[in-house]
Amino acid sequence: MNDRSLSRRTLLAATTATAATAAVAAGPSAAAVSAVDSGRHTDRLKRLISRMSLEEKVGQLFVSRVWGHSATDPEQGYAELNLRDFGVRSAAELVARYHVGGIIYFSWADNVREPHQIADLSNGIQRAGLAQPTPLPLLISVDQEHGAVTRIGDPVTQFPGAMALGAGRSRKDARSAGRIAGAELAAMGIHQNYAPVADVNVNPANPVINVRSFGSDPNAAARMVSSQVRGYRSAGVAACAKHFPGHGNTSVDSHTALPRILHTREEWSRIDAPAFRSAIAAGIDSIMTAHIQFPALDASEDPATLSPAILTGILRGELGFDGVVVTDALNMKGVLTKYGEARVPVLALKAGADQLLYPENLALAWNAVRDAVLGGELTEDRLDESILRILRLKDRLGLLRDPYVTHPGVDRTVGIPEHLDTAAEIAERTTTLLVNKAELLPLSRRRQRNLLIVGSDPNPAVRQNERPVAALRKAFAELGFTPTALPFEKAPTPAQIDQAVAAAAGQDAVLVTTYNVDAASSQRTLVSRLAATGVPVITLALRNPYDIARLGDVSAALASYGWSAVELRAAARVIAGRIEPEGKLPVPVLRADTPTAVLFPAGHGLRYHD
């Protein structure tokens, strides 16, 4: 029996397709019929839940990672890692033992080699789900925000990240990016994407959100968030707004510590809440919690992930969200600082969470939740509430009818020319020109043909020809320039700076890529030494647009907000004058010497022909 007939045989007896679209504007009778159908549908899902064992119910709440590119036949090294971490060899065995409701893919876990492999892994995981005593598909997820957080690379279509889209200021572009990204994920069997970021980045020192945010304006961010949500939903993928109640004003990374947000309740309502309200109004399927203290919202100062006042009182009660609440990863120090690994999943459920994402020790967390039910701290009814929300989402996504994908479906959807062209067009509207002294830019192939490209490569783990400096060298060569590439890691050594200064001799211009420049960064020395040679220096901020505040006197400066190939090609085309710089800063850039003074306001962005 093939996968499709298996899915129908095991699932159609338990549930039917959702009737969410039945309530069209056709009068009271249509609404009444819809209410009846919805009630019957909920009853079917509840009967499905009633057939589940306690162990299956506990498992449905967890979203786990797993090692390897195959559900049943991982390479030996990954089988050993799975045995070490989970006591099983493969994803299929993990599903069978723990009955998990979801799996999250990571590139470092070798889950995402290429689209056909991803589709096969997804199908293998779904087969394991449907082989359980109570056959249930899994909700497979990924962190594919695009920009700074991208788990799946080429040939999947790459889009500019959130802050770049914020610089482009187009709701249509945000929606198109969500629709296309969602369609490609769905074709590979991934139906939940932990995006968009709804945090409003009002702190330039924010080490964890930063360019993952659409910007510093709450209303502009809200508009972009709702547009992306609608794009993902139109593609049949569950978007996930994060990180509630708002992670934008912190200088601490919740991966390594517990941040503390000091917004007042009024400031939260004005700054942090609008994007989440907008996401809910747009039909957001899931919202991710933040591992942050927010004293104005919860006097206990428990992390928001573990706070009934925040998750149940505000998110459920005040904002009226009845979708799936997913925790941020439960292996992060921000949530583990106050309580231990065994208490965190239980407290998250008591607070109002539905999905428990990525506990470091799955067996410990799983047993803690089961023991809490057996000991009376949690009730099965409480688990059933979350499972019903999860099953409703799986059903809305079509997983209860047919969770499988095909290679032809991948080929028709993933990385097709139409999608790549749209991504390139969107990227060309995001590059922001901040400084252009003496109208140095655009560069002329006749007068400034020889170009030295030097600077940081943020991700040395990727292949050399995919790194930013190499990608820029290729882009400028295709544009008719004669580029020389000189890459180094994020912080150049004195010897590398000397090498760059020597290489600048005889060049018509130098393009320096920068990455998160701070007061002590040797990138500042590199730029000043190159500027002293008299060769015009152009800087391109690969991540933070704030870099320019610490770089001194340069001839021209731009921000790309990311270093994906599509963003770098767009930046090269702007520098070469093939397109106009259209991006506008979505955040203000403050002066480094006087942090209360604005160097460039939000909305700043130069053009060549104003």
Q: Hey, which residues are catalytic here?
A: 255, 328
- Between CA 140 and CA 142 the distance in angstroms is 7
What count of Cα atoms within 13 Å lies in the side-chain half-sphere of residue 412? 8
- Spell out a b/e string for 491-520, using b for 16 or more CB atoms within 10 Å of the CB, else e: bbeeebbeebbebbeebbbbbbbbbbbeee
> Helix or strand or coil: residue 547?
helix
The residues, ordered by sequence, that sit 6+ positions from 299 with a Cβ below 8 Å of its Cβ are none
- Between CA 179 and CA 185 the distance in angstroms is 10
Tokens coding 602: 């939000």
- Do residues 491 and 522 lie in contact, with contact meaning Cβ atoms separated by under 8 Å? yes
- Between CA 455 and CA 542 the distance in angstroms is 10
List, in sequence order, every residue forming a beta bridge with 557; answer none if it has no partner: 435, 539
The residue type at 357: L
- Between CA 345 and CA 187 the distance in angstroms is 32
> Helix or strand or coil: residue 487?
strand
**Left if phi > 0, otherwise alpha if psi is -120 to 50, otherwise beta: which for 83?**
alpha
Residue 435 phi/psi, 5-degree rounding, is -135, 140
**Look-up: residue for tokens 């009846």?**
36
> Helix or strand or coil: residue 434?
strand
The separation between CA 155 and the C-alpha centre of its own chain, rounded to angstroms, equals 18
Q: Which DSSP helix (H) or strand (E) runs through 438? A: none
Q: Three-class SS string for 65-127? A: CCCCCCCCCCCHHHHHHHHHHHCCCCHHHHHHHHCCCEEEECCCCCCCCCHHHHHHHHHHHHH
Q: What angle do CA 66, 121, 331 make, to 5 degrees?
A: 20
H helices of 114-170, where? 115-130, 162-168
CA distances from 423 to 43, 160, 181, 215 (A): 43, 8, 10, 20
CA distances from 346 to 141, 307, 310 (A): 22, 12, 16
> Helix or strand or coil: residue 571?
helix
- Prior bond to 245 cis, omega within 30? yes
Nearest Cα residue to 391 out of 58, 139, 141? 139
- Do residues 566 and 417 lie in contact, with contact meaning Cβ atoms separated by under 8 Å? no
> Helix or strand or coil: residue 136?
coil
Q: Give the burial class of 19: count Cβ atoms within 10 A of its Cβ; 0-12 exposed, 13-18 middle, 19 or more buried.
A: middle
- Between CA 516 and CA 543 the distance in angstroms is 7
